[in-house]
Chains A and B, each alone.
Chain A
Amino acid sequence: MNKKRQSMITSIREGVKALRHPGAFLKQHPRMMYIVFGLLYMVIAYLPHFGLIEFGTMGVFAYIAIYSIVALGLNLLLGFSGLISLSTAGFMGAGALGTGVLIQQGLPFELAAAIAVITAGAIGALIGLFSLKVEGIYLAIATLFVGEILHKIYTQVAIFGGDAIRIGAIKVFGLRELSQISQIDRTYLFILIVAILVLMMIVMHNIVHSKTGRALLAMSRSEHAAQAMGISILRYRLTAFVTATMFAATAGVAYALYFQSVTTAQWTLSASLFIIAMVVVGGYKSIYGTLLGVFIIHGIPELIIKDYLGDVSYIFSGILIIIVIIFYPNGFVYIWYDLKGWMYKVNVKQKIKNLFTKEPTNRGDSQ
């Protein structure tokens, strides 16, 4: 009884502390930070209703959220495990098209999504097994084979509807039908996919800060040393590939949920390359870095460059990619450390300057 009261008091105290110093609280609880980030992001869903941005712009932000999910999964593969996959877009397509087809067969949305994601994960497991034998560029191109086969299946098999699947309104949680056409429904859909993004960020955070994350890091540095420490390569390779493909498929589900119409031909090698570019440009091993990368690769061209330059916007995003990689080979998010280092240098220089410019009489006064 007493214990319960004690714990209640401490939790209230912590709550008050959190309210008084929100910055420090969020630093201690990174998971809360993701939720706060998500809530701020959700505000975008209401801006079009007040005429602050257009509904099309909201679509770009939805794209950013969706790409962030798949890029997070790929970062686990690329950043933490040092493995590359060129079939990411294929798995995203599996999530989107799979959900669409299953809904058209009459399944409820949640079940359809789950089946699509699990199927993608199973194929990911197969690739993981394959990766034990095949390495480096050979593995990259082996995944390209998988991507090409998936692309062929999407465009050739009649069940995917030839050019595109039009899903129409989706009933979410059996409660309410949400349609892309209605403006208020679109706001709800946006909130839903941001919620999925926040969930995936927290999942990613948990994986990275667990035994699995450390094992993956060890594996990426030296496979042999990791093996000598008792890390099972098979198990963690499988984990990495399955997680990455399931993240990709989840992004596909979010795509199907928001846009409610999925074309079959868009899941190509170049789409996969764009997702890799997001991870590379944003920053390996960093969750916010990944989001930054998505914003640089997809957001800046769509939101800013396109308005000013129109058709030739791709030239500038291409140049942007090249410049960022030349100057920040580990990702643009590391500009933060450079800035910090630079500030530190300036501070130290200032202090040294102060030390020498102080007049000796001052010292005498203080004594």
Chain B
Amino acid sequence: MRHPAEGTLRRLADEPSAITDPDRAHVAACPDCQETLSTVRKEAALIGAALHTEAAPDVDAGWRRLSDAFAAPMTAAEAIRVGRRAPVPRWRGPMVAVAAVVALLTGATAAVATDWLRVFHTEEIAPVTISRADLLALPDLSAYGDVEVTEEPHVRDVPDAAAASEATGLAVPEVTSLPRGVSGQPVYQAGDRVTAVFTFDGDRAGGPPELDGARFRLTAGPGVAAVWAEDRGVPALIVGRAVAPAAYSDSGVDFATARDHLLSLSGLPADVAAQLRAFTGDGTTLPLHVMDEKLTSAPADVNGAPATVLTSRDGVLAAVVWVRDGVVTAVAGSLSADEVLTVARGLA
């Protein structure tokens, strides 16, 4: 009888009952297999000892921490991490507009609370540093009026890049060289345009008379994304592209009037409000919220387009986002800033 494979001997060391009777009998009578089994056991013990780490966590404290995390809105880093680890990453729910990349990067609260700031055509993106406490203090739009989503994004998987392009009319970014540690084929996703109409309510928000009943139509998308996963779906890289947010008013209200009034109500610190006023002055710059506790931002250049690089303070995540010709593109993943920039600059 041939000798059992080392894998079988390895299992014999752990789960003897799982090995067939003939194999067990052979090993018991075979000096060579006994010697191999002894080596296998020693190495298993050695590796077990090398990997062993004392870890007796406080379960109650852990549960409180997790409960607190669920009570708070997702941060940008968390949103991306959740997407990274889902077995089949999907962007669903109200937190994700079809401008999926922007929403993903700015996080749920930022996306909802500051949609009014997108009441313009986006030509560039600029970071706005804001603390978590200030972000959480922002009321959402329902505090100022009524929001009705009139077109849903319908984000779904599609078979390939061609199908994503056909569904959205967007050229799907092609990654020419994957970073180290990322391999295989991506899952492609497509989403339709999302549209919401916001009607300002003077009873709730006060303000000048012309604001009462003023309507703004906010649009974003369509969008596409390619997501690379490893093994059981631990995504390492996301490349997304979407038609940048824009907005329209049918009431003739001057954007600056609405902006200044909402900023006065939001309770934002003066310096943050000043940043927003400055960025939105020409109606073409989309503020990208950077929570100081979680992310750092830095300017960069992607083949001539000004870009913003975001890096999580724990070093786990990096992303780069830029706008060209009214289309926002982002590269994000469990990578370094250099790696996402390399991918971004190499997109075909």
Q: Do these two chains really belong together in a complex?
A: no
Please list the residues of chain B having a beta carbon within 8 angstroms of any beta carbon in chain A.
Answer: none
Please list the residues of chain A having a beta carbon within 8 angstroms of any beta carbon in chain B.
Answer: none
